[in-house]
Amino acid sequence: MIWLIGNKGMLGQDVEKLLKRKRLSYLASDKEVDIKNYQILKEFTKDIKIEWIINCTGYTDVDKAEKEIEKAFLINRDGVRNISKIALEKQAKLVHISTDYVFNGEKNKHLSYTEDDKTEPINLYGKSKLAGEKETKETFKKYFIIRTAWLYGRGGKNFVSTMLKLFKEKEEIKVVSDQWGSPTYTVDLAEVILKMINNDSDKFGIYHFTNEGVTNWYEFAREIYRKSKKLGIIDSNKEVGIRGIETKEYPTPAQRPKWSLLSKEKIKRELNLDIRNWEGALEDFLTTLSLQTK
- Residues involved in catalysis: 125
Q: How many angstroms separate the CA atoms of 283 and 102, rounded? A: 29
- The answer to whether the beta carbons of residues 119 and 169 sit under 8 Å apart is no
Distance separating alpha carbons of residues 174 and 182, to the nearest angstrom = 20
Q: What distance in Å separates the CA atoms of residue 274 and residue 251, rounded to the nearest whole number?
A: 37
Alpha carbon distances (Å) from 41 to 47, 79, 81 = 12, 10, 11
Distance CA 244, CA 222 (A): 10
The whole-angstrom distance between residue 86's C-alpha and the CA centroid of its chain comes to 23
Q: Tell which residue, 58, 41, 54, has the closest CA to residue 15.
A: 54
Please count the other Cβ atoms lying within 10 Å of the Cβ belonging to residue 60: 20
Directed axis angle between helix 186-198 and helix 10-21, to 10°?
Answer: 50
